[in-house]
Structure 1
Amino acid sequence: MSNRLRFREFYPFYLAEHANRMCRRLHFVGTTLVLLTLVTALATGRLQWLWLMPLFGYGLAWAGHALFEKNRPATFRHPFYSFAGDWVMYWDILRGRVQL
């Protein structure tokens, strides 16, 4: 993948790197926990909980790649597009465009 890659070109690659259903499920659970942690921390004023967000988000996603997908997460090659790709995939799962 080129350094001058556009996100619309990257996203099909991102989805191909998440072909395993359990990997996608771990991404979905991790992203959901990130959202719940953010809302809870803001609602309760316990901002110290925010440190859990990368643990949930990246921890579960990387476990999915190591245990099920058997590939290296795109985060290491394309950190910004990978971060965006996770949110787009999450939304696509919610809309039924990507199977969970």
Structure 2
Amino acid sequence: MEFSSYEEFWPYYVAMHSRAATRWVHLAGTLTGLALTAYGLARGRTRYLAALPLIGYGTAWPAHFLIEGNNPATFAHPGWSLRGDAQMIRMMLAGRDAELDAIAQKWLAGNR
């Protein structure tokens, strides 16, 4: 799919994460990758910088195939997907997972 702006892309991104399990796998992988990266930086071990993409994507991408049954949006829209992941995780940490579910269901209902 083609999008002319991030705002147009956002509901699609959320719809590609329509199941709560997918969103929570993303959150766990991203936060684990961030924690290991921060640990490595604090210890002066730059090789730990690889933890964020390896663990983040290494947990998120299989969730798309195994839980959602779709391809990660990152494949076609890497920049916007990274931004979407950050926005989605911020909303989840703020207790707004139900709002994400509503965005996903609305997009899916109008685009199947």
Work out the CA distance in 2 between the residues paired with 1:85 and 1:26.
Answer: 15
Please name the residue that 2:26 is paired with: 27
Please name the residue that 2:40 is paired with: 41
Please name the residue that 1:16 is paired with: 15
Work out the CA distance in 2 between the residues paired with 1:52 and 1:94.
Answer: 21
Identity %: 42
> For 1:22-76, what per-residue CA distance to the aligned partner results, in whole angstroms no more than 9, with x for missing partners?
1111100011012102210111111111122211110111011011000000001
Alpha-carbon RMSD: 1.5
Please name the residue that 1:2 is paired with: 2
Segments of structure 2 that go 5 or more residues without pairing to the other structure are 101-112
Please name the residue that 1:85 is paired with: 84
Work out the CA distance in 2 between the residues paired with 1:27 and 1:72.
Answer: 14
Please name the residue that 1:58 is paired with: 57
Q: Give every structure 1 segment of 4 or more consecutive aligned residues whose post-TM-superposition deviation is greater than 4 Å.
A: none
Work out the CA distance in 2 between the residues paired with 1:20 and 1:74.
Answer: 15
Aligned length: 99
Give the TM-score taking structure 2 as reference length: 0.82
AA partner of residue 2 (structure 2): S
